[in-house]
Amino acid sequence: MSAPPLSRLMRLAERWRRLVPSRCADETARSQALFVEACGLALDLRREWFDEETIAALVEFAHEQGLARGIAALFAGEPVLGAMSGPALYPALRGEGPAPAVAESLCALGAMETLAARLREDPRSFGLQSVRHLIHVGIGGSLSGPRLIMDFLGPGQGPEVHFLGNADGRSLRALLAAIDPNASLLLIASKSFATAETLANARSLIRALAERRGLSEAEVLRATVAVTSRPERARDFGIGAKAILHLPEAVGGRYSSCSAISFCLMLAHGETAFRALLAGASAMDRHFREAAASANLPVLASLADFWHRSILGSGALCILPYADRLAGLLPFVQQLFMESNGKGVDREGRPLPAPAAPVVFGQVGCDAEHALLQWLAQGLEAVPVEFVAVPPEPGCALDRLRTDHLLAQWSRLAAPSEESAPERRAAGPRPTRLLALKDSSPETLGALIAFYEHRAFAQSLLWGNDAFDQWGVEAGKTLARQIALSRAGQADPPSDPLLREWLQRWP
């Protein structure tokens, strides 16, 4: 990290720690520069613990860290994290990026639309009477994005969508009880087509469906779609070539929501809704690429994240989406931020000088008020709180009540306490921000998804780490494979004595 801009930020942080109560007492004096709107989203930072001077210092620091160069490399399809890395082509999924990658994505989109039409018009060619249920099997980035999309948009005119992620027999049995086996399409989403949990769930489903339908597993596989960057593995699994949808190798799983990973959206809501999602994400791509840093939604949010984590020292970020349709946002952002940037070394393998990604936690709406808000208001740690709002439906009293609660909590957390009794006195003011969606359309959802994707990428440029690997996850997965081989008598038992003890308890 560059010393002069960082030193300036440290000096500003000391001033803010002294002046927070008085600086936050009257937000009406805060600059309109801390309120930014773009692509159907509005970000209100006027109750944050910074001002225009802080933003200017953060922008200077971001320039020293190569933020502009990194953004340009992202959209040019160049290595984004140094000479040893490859491109990250997730913007090309919605038409933003180098021409070959955009053409590849358009070809994949056409294949999706062709397959969706075949499933609607001729389900019997897939061995089904109709397609009334779609079972999406995936985990991590192959699940969190599609689940967020379906939670947000709700049921469509197409099949009911079910998700299966964790390896859990009870969940599998509950799903099987909720579907018609003769009208159920299975979708296996795995970039590598080697994800242990996903393939185990898929095999269990195929066996169960074959038994219930009185068919062979090969016949059940006729009604199975794969989304992967390794089509040869899907073919070896038994899936027909025309039912394999392409996922580009240069798109990481947690950045793949605008790809065929979200085929469930196209089947449930149609091609128009899917293209609208892409259009909203594309608009945010252009905003991220073109807007000045001080008026750039993902950049401003990432600067706020860096300020709180690395300068003020807050180890957490609380996200409170005040609508049930946003229930999937928290796990989506948790994976984006913590798996992308929960690293201890920079892109050259050197130890980071300070911790990077914060712990992301939260809860939906008014439920959070009966759990998290007490700690946020009166605990001794000042954690930034991000309220995420969807406009109330006109005439809906429940939506109006929910919105009133959001605005009340956002206001009170940021204000100095007026209570005299110690047990009633809040520890505020707390740093808060409000992210408001214009509406509940697929376009706005696309912009929201791209906002968080670009924010995670911008964070990595500020911290200097690689946002597109996840080696910390791999060690445990490797050991799990060794345990499975040991159980099957194909490898020696683990050397860890406590691990061996628990394996004996759970044979």
Does the annotation count 370 as an active-site position? Answer: yes
Q: Which is the catalytic residue, given 219, 249, 381, 477?
A: 477
Q: Which is the catalytic residue, given 370, 418, 419, 423?
A: 370
Q: Which is the catalytic residue, given 96, 197, 339, 443?
A: 339
Q: In the 3-class helix/strand/coil scheme, how is 140-164 assigned residue by residue?
A: HHHCHHHHHHHHHHCCCCCCEEEEE
Does the annotation count 477 as an active-site position? Answer: yes
Using CB atoms within 10 Å of the CB of residue 105, give its burial: 0 to 12 exposed, 13 to 18 middle, 19+ buried: buried
For β-strands 35-38 and 41-44, DSSP reports them as antiparallel
| Degrees to nearest 5, angle at CA 235 with 231 and 236 | 115
List, in order, residues 6 or more apart from 95 with CB less than 8 Å away. 102, 105, 106, 278, 282
Does the annotation count 242 as an active-site position? Answer: no
Strands (E), 190-268: 224-228, 244-246
Question: 273: which 2 tokens?
Answer: 């809704």
List, in order, residues 6 or more apart from 200 with CB less than 8 Å away. 167
Closest residue by Cα to residue 263 from 219, 297, 228, 296: 228
User: Which residue, chain included where needed, has tokens 């799983």?
Assistant: 253
Instruction: Give every strand in the sheet of 133-137, ordered side by side.
Output: 160-164, 133-137, 184-189, 224-228, 244-246
- List the catalytic residues: 339, 370, 477
